Structure 1
Amino acid sequence: MIKIALVDDDSDFIDYASKTIYKMLETDIVIDTFTTVDTFALAIKDNFYHIIILDYDLTSGITGFSIIENLNYEYDPIIIMVTSYTNTDIMSEAFEYKIYRYIFKQSFEDKIAKVFDAAISEIRARLQTLTVKDKQNTYHLRINDLYCVYSESYYVIFQLKNYNIRIRMSLKDVTDLLLLHHFVHAKSNTLVNIYHVIRFNNAKVYLDNGSSCLLSRTGYKEMSIKFNKYRV
């Protein structure tokens, strides 16, 4: 089941948007609605939402961006921002906050079906797992939780947010699968999850867990193409 949070201080829009989504989607979903920042803040302490639909301009001068800054999820939700404003500065800022899509309320019904098709496909990709084993343990790793995967002697290192898993195996055994999930060759022995890339130059790529890895000349070219394609 895909859980959706709809946050807007306009109760009429909340009602309209939730009915529109339920009508358009056949996927098994549940929508929780919030008309105040406080009720949403309480809800996210105990609930994980795959998708958060967030109004830009909330009450008391609070913006959707300030809510995003205070999200403390282990896994990043897909955030769709809605607004009545057509200010290009807001759209630029939305890019900086990794907003998945930006929808004007005036065209919500026309746009939301296409946006949700893409978002749900993204969620399914994130939820896919990679199973690896050593002599003692079997690990079921969510592919999108991997930051980079690289070979070291006879081992493959799977880097997650706060720790690494070291398995005696060949990088070739997982390369094809990872390349289907936003991974890019940073070097011949290193694959990077482009979903976690915050920036890169011609020598290094920097990830959102604070780590970095070297980038080859070929890797830089591939990263430039894939990064721009992914962001767009």
Structure 2
Amino acid sequence: MIKIAICDDDIDFMDKYDERIIDIFNKCTMGDETYSVVRYHSGKELLDNYKKDGADIFLLDIDLGDCKGYEVGRELTLRESDPAIIYITGYSENVYNAFVGRPIGFVQKKCLENDLEKFVYAAVYHVRKRAQRVEITGKDRKYELAADEIVVFEVYDHELKITLKDGEKILNGWLHTYEEKLEEYGFIKISRSVMLNPRYIKNISGDEAVMINGSIYKISRSRRKNVRREYELCTRR
């Protein structure tokens, strides 16, 4: 089940549109996939509960009572590698601020019926892609890892080190065995021995890739231009 978090202090709006939002999401259903809505009335309520509630996609009103929606989006981006955010608002003056956190899109409430659907398809695709899995085969055992949980793939002296969002795996192997599959999932090769998940890159500075967890990886001279281009494409989606 994919859970859609709607955060808006306008209760009348949520009463009117949450069923319509489910209808739009149901058009994107694949196989046994189902959707449900989790409602929050403030940014604090969302940030305190979204993990427990298992929210996958976030529809954030920009003008919340206790804070701005893009402040919530910024905090989600700090906590999560690449959250699926769609900003909604009754106004247009905050449109540029709303692009904090690399959102899927921006929808005005008056255009919700017409404009939300195209962003819903993008958000659902985004969540499905994050759920893709990579099969890693070691000498003695096999791992099946969610691509979204892999931060870094690196190899030295035939030892493959996979840094995960929580923990790591070390086994014998070669990068080229998995390189093509990782590229399909958007990983960027920064040197002969290292591939990074761009969702966990904080920034690219000169010949270094700085990760959200503070780790720094050197980018080989021959790959710098290409790495920067691929990263910029990723940040634009």
Coarse TM-score class (shorter-chain normalised): 0.7 to 0.9
Q: What does residue 77 of structure 1 align with?
A: 83
CA distance in 2, matches of 1:58, 1:224: 35
Which range moves more in the overlay, 63-72 or 172-181? 63-72
**What one-letter code is carried by the residue in structure 2 that aligns with 1:213?**
Y
Which segments of 5 or more consecutive residues in structure 1 lack a partner in the other structure?
Answer: none
Q: What code does the residue aligned with 1:47 have?
A: D
What residue is the counterpart of 1:194 in the other structure?
198
Match of 1:164 in 2: 168
CA contact (8 A) 1:161 1:209 kept: no
Q: Secondary structure at the match of 2:153?
A: strand
Q: Does 1:3 align with 2:30?
A: no
> Any stretches of 5+ residues in structure 2 without a counterpart?
none
User: Relative to 1, partners in 2 of residues 1:214 and 1:133: Cα closer, same or farther, differing over 3 Å?
Assistant: same
Q: Which residue identity does 1:31 align to in structure 2? A: V
Deviation at 1:38, TM superposition (A): 5.7
| Residue 72 of structure 2 is aligned to residue 67 of structure 1 | yes
Equivalent pair of 1:3/1:48 in contact (CA under 8 Å)? yes
Query: Structure 2 residue aligned with 1:47, among 48, 53, 56?
Result: 53
1:220 aligns to what? 224
Aligned equivalent of 1:151: 155
Structure 1 pair 137–194 and aligned structure 2 pair: CA distance change class (3 A)? same
How many Å apart are 1:63 and its aligned residue?
Answer: 1.6
TM-score, normalisation: structure 1: 0.86
Determine what percentage of the aligned residue pairs are the same residue.
23
Q: 1:31 aligned to 2:37?
A: yes
Of stretches 94-103 and 214-223 in structure 1, the one that deviates more from structure 2 is 94-103
CA distance in 1, matches of 2:96, 2:190: 28
Pairing 1:22–2:22 present = yes
Structure 1 residues 77 and 165: CA distance shift in structure 2, 3 A: same
* Distance of aligned partners of 1:36 and 1:203 in 2 relative to their CA distance in 1, 3 Å threshold: closer
Q: CA deviation at 1:141?
A: 1.4
TM-score by length of 2: 0.85
CA distance in 2, matches of 1:17, 1:113: 13
Are the aligned partners of 1:147 and 1:192 in contact in 2 as well (CA < 8 Å)? yes
Q: State the distance in 2 between where 1:79 and 1:183 align.
A: 21
Q: Secondary structure at the match of 1:179?
A: helix
The 1:181–1:133 alpha-carbon spacing in structure 2 relative to 1, beyond 3 Å, is: same
User: Superposition RMSD on alpha carbons, in Å?
Assistant: 2.4
Q: Please give the alpha-carbon distance, in whole angstroms, between the structure 2 residues aligned to 1:212 and 1:68.
A: 25
- 2:133 maps to what in 1? 129
Contact 1:130 1:142 in 2 (8 A): yes
Deviations 1:173-231 (A, max 9, x none): 11111001111111122111112222102311111121121112332222222222222
C-alpha contact 2:139 2:171 (8 A) present in aligned 1: no
- Give the Cα–Cα distance (whole angstroms) in 2 for the partners of residues 172 and 96 of structure 1: 35
Shift of 1:69: 5.5
Contact kept in structure 2, 1:202 and 1:216, CA below 8 Å: no
1:92–1:37 Cα change, 3 Å: closer
